[in-house]
Chains A and B, each alone.
Chain A
């Protein structure tokens, strides 16, 4: 019994110490967000946060701006992300949806980036963030180098051929199914067309169907809802898994009545 009390005291004091350490920089620990990095340019501190870690697929990036002279947060500005994958022989960007002019209630500017590959041997991601603070009349530019983007298999390319025989690439990502459960699962697909190495506009006019299948059973599941377009290249739907085991999920894409193709994801529940 004595030992147990002793251990409890020990654990308790440890928690006090660690939580004290945490409170030192509350600007870096906002809600459950993770600080990616902090840069400074011309009297403005630019902090970048993300939800968990940066992954291949849809990511939310949160920017906090702090005026270094006043210590006040800047809540109105134009923010532009330019992510670049730097490889030995080439470089390219990825789909981006920049945040609006107003920061959210937590004084964060929320943008979305769809990383199309992981950081690693082939190359690394840099994100150049430009800030146009119209109220103060200042422009700032900071670079977050060597972003650590983790591999997932949630991103696919859909390649199709246009009438003039040009290849058309779409970057497709599937989000919300990192931990799929038996039952109904909400998911978000992002669809962006690659018009150049640096340009990935959203594809908002896709007709998408979802078809989960269990090869071992020879059938799929009921209650699926085909994804519907919401905003910024995102389509939201529901996929159901009727039991655990190995599943494939096919997404079929059509545009203007023309079948573009199908991408398949695999899951083991």
Chain B
């Protein structure tokens, strides 16, 4: 009876809620930057009711009058408790600035020139890799050659068509087979954000046709009272027996701070859904990031960072060789000044240098390619500097400048050891020295309260030349009269107009014109074997500048509990660089030679849809759909590396102390493959994963994952060599931080 009475009274009270309630609303911001936090949880302790902050960091809730304790939290930030008094019919306003904690498990993704904020809602477990997080971004995929260091590809454009930078610093992979994309040198535990630019919509980091990916490291933070923070983490994966240990720590003081992130990963060969071991898929890797920040005075601070990465015995299943070691050393020094004058808001100056050494060999292989051992060492050295200036042009307009310079040198060779004869050596990258000067300007202006325009332009000058004598002699076989140097003048520009059609619908029209210089392989490569099409590739120093025209229409609907983004895009290329078969006979181990040529016109068109929907205070749905087609018009073929129709969706349950998420990812079969590139049709697939995290005690975080729940046997269209992905696996990690003690 008592129970029934209580239930009834709740129903009655519910009916009269409006009359007896008040409203609480507020804004949640990052306490260190003042920027709004999207998707932060706001929970009423007394009722366990909660909402998430929207794109502007705003939230509001209707509550019965009374006193409540409100908890605002977001992973990566220290939660805030605040007591509020709700009066009948009154509006209570709150402003909550969350302080970031150095150690984040939530990764922020920002899309430059794309305004896609749904991604910032992505929450990944402690076990995720950098590559996995990159692949969650709409329109970004991975080219997989093994279980390690997958190469990011934006809307079907990879390699030289896009720029990958680390904290804005240029560096270039030292592997002629692209086994060391720069993204492989940033470990997930030290990753702060992934900034993505699609196509020429972002040209801050260089002229491009395909886009840019800037990975930023977690930086040390100041604290008002000196404190030492640390976190240790251990994890494992049952499929690959990957063991992972990481350490993050630092000392935070009012005027200076340092941080150290280190990780060690060791994985064996994984097995596919049929429990077949995928040979040569293990690796061992060690990564460190050391950062030091010091405040010189009120408006000036310096920042220094040192990054080292050492990987050993990295298996590449789909290639005839593995990597003995891959090594990066990177140093960056920067000066940041703010409030220099009323007009010049910010100045940042950075100098950097890095060295990458890469050694491919087949010493671990039993079946030797061509029945002989071979080594393929390579290295790159890069040094550069850039200056950023931010100007406040007027109340509603700003200007940004970047002036940039860098120098880079790339060398690689190959030595084969036949059993019955002398060693055979060739230079595959002839110590190509390249100088770049770039100037970038961006101007943004609010025309009125509904309309905003943004214009960016960039000019790049490149001068490149081959300097290794043997390598020059090799290329002179094919280009006898060529001095093997080239100059490129690149112009890129973009323009967009954003218009708020009404309170919920924003529409953005974007136009871009991109260009790029050929890569070292495309201009100067020699004897580069591609196991996918079975050809040896020859660079072409006379390649023209590849250019693109891009048209994009983005629409965003911001409803009460959902955000929907839809992008339609089209790229039209001129002087598209592509490998063309050269006349000649089969070489036995290779089908012949291909030379990079100007393949004339190409195009890519596609659509991206992403949805974030807050189902209730605990449940969120996030999903997406991508489709694109690409064709090499003059060669009458499809473009290679175009992903098929892809869809993904996840349901997440969020609670105070834990969250759990089930996600599904699927793709249709890809019938529009590139025959000229040696691709073949791939089947569709659908895989499910289950992930979750719980912090049972202060300072303890347990992450679990069940990957490939249904034990699907599958591979993706962009996986080289049709190597199956891992079967069902269980991943686990345990993290402890200083607050646990």
Stretch at the interface among B155-163, B305-313, B512-520, B584-592: B584-592
Give Cα distance in the complex from A218 to B372, angstroms: 13
In the complex with contacts A181-B473, A183-B473, A222-B584, A217-B478 CB distance below 8 A = no
A184/B372 in contact, CB under 8 A: no
B420/A216 in contact, CB under 8 A: yes
Chain B neighbourhood of A216, CB < 8 A: 372, 416, 418, 420-421, 424
Give Cα distance in the complex from A221 to B473, angstroms: 13
Residue A242 interfacial (CB < 8 Å):
yes
Report how many A-B pairs have Cβ atoms within 8 Å: 72
Scan residues 1-29 of chain B and give those whose CB is less than 8 A from a CB of chain A: none
Give Cα distance in the complex from A242 to B420, angstroms: 19
Chain B neighbourhood of A244, CB < 8 A: 422-426
B482 to chain A: closest CB distance in Å?
12
Scan residues 315-332 of chain B and give those whose CB is less than 8 A from a CB of chain A: none
Chain B neighbourhood of A222, CB < 8 A: 477-478, 582, 584, 593
B473/A217 in contact, CB under 8 A: no
Residue B370 interfacial (CB < 8 Å):
yes
A183/B476 in contact, CB under 8 A: yes
Scan residues 216-265 of chain A and give those whose CB is less than 8 A from a CB of chain B: 216-219, 221-223, 240, 242-246
B593/A245 in contact, CB under 8 A: no
A155 to chain B: closest CB distance in Å?
24
A243/B473 in contact, CB under 8 A: no
Chain A neighbourhood of B473, CB < 8 A: 181-184
B421/A246 in contact, CB under 8 A: yes
Range class of the A interface residue count = 20 to 34
Contact of B426 among A181, A218, A223, A242 (CB under 8 A): A242
Give Cα distance in the complex from A181 to B425, angstroms: 12
Give Cα distance in the complex from A246 to B424, angstroms: 8
Give Cα distance in the complex from A243 to B587, angstroms: 15
Chain A neighbourhood of B407, CB < 8 A: none
Residue B280 interfacial (CB < 8 Å):
no
Give Cα distance in the complex from A215 to B584, angstroms: 18
Give Cα distance in the complex from A147 to B17, angstroms: 121
Residue A214 interfacial (CB < 8 Å):
yes
B593/A217 in contact, CB under 8 A: no
A36 to chain B: closest CB distance in Å?
34
B372/A242 in contact, CB under 8 A: no
Give Cα distance in the complex from A73 to B560, angstroms: 107
Residue A165 interfacial (CB < 8 Å):
no
Residue B470 interfacial (CB < 8 Å):
yes
Contact of A242 among B472, B527, B585, B589 (CB under 8 A): B527
B477/A214 in contact, CB under 8 A: no
Give Cα distance in the complex from A215 to B582, angstroms: 22
CB-CB contacts of A78-114 with B at 8 A, as 1s and 0s? Answer: 0000000000000000000000000000000000000
A245/B418 in contact, CB under 8 A: yes
Contact of B474 among A182, A214, A268 (CB under 8 A): A182
B423/A242 in contact, CB under 8 A: no
Give Cα distance in the complex from A223 to B479, angstroms: 9
Contact of A215 among B370, B421, B423, B474 (CB under 8 A): B421
Scan residues 469-507 of chain B and give those whose CB is less than 8 A from a CB of chain A: 470, 472-474, 476-478, 480
Closest residue on chain B to residue A183 by CB atoms: B473
Chain A neighbourhood of B593, CB < 8 A: 222
Closest residue on chain A to residue B587 by CB atoms: A219
Q: Which of B477, B584, B593 has the most CB of A within 10 A?
A: B477
B418/A184 in contact, CB under 8 A: no
B596 to chain A: closest CB distance in Å?
16
Chain A neighbourhood of B472, CB < 8 A: 183
Chain B neighbourhood of A223, CB < 8 A: 477-478, 480
In the complex with contacts A216-B372, A222-B478, A222-B593, A245-B422 CB distance below 8 A = yes
Give Cα distance in the complex from A244 to B418, angstroms: 12
Give Cα distance in the complex from A237 to B154, angstroms: 48
A245 to chain B: closest CB distance in Å?
3
Give Cα distance in the complex from A218 to B478, angstroms: 20
In the complex with contacts A181-B473, A182-B473, A183-B473, A245-B478 CB distance below 8 A = no
Give Cα distance in the complex from A182 to B370, angstroms: 21
Give Cα distance in the complex from A243 to B415, angstroms: 9
Q: Which of A214, A219, A221, A268 has the most CB of B within 10 A?
A: A219
Interface set of A (CB-CB < 8 Å, partner B) = 181-184, 214-219, 221-223, 240, 242-246, 268
- Offer 9 A-B interface pairs, CB within 8 angstroms, sorted by A: A181-B473, A182-B470, A183-B472, A184-B473, A184-B477, A223-B480, A242-B477, A245-B416, A245-B425
Q: Ordered nearest first, which 9 A-B pairs have the shortest CB separation? A: A183-B473, A245-B424, A216-B418, A243-B426, A223-B477, A219-B587, A246-B421, A240-B477, A244-B425
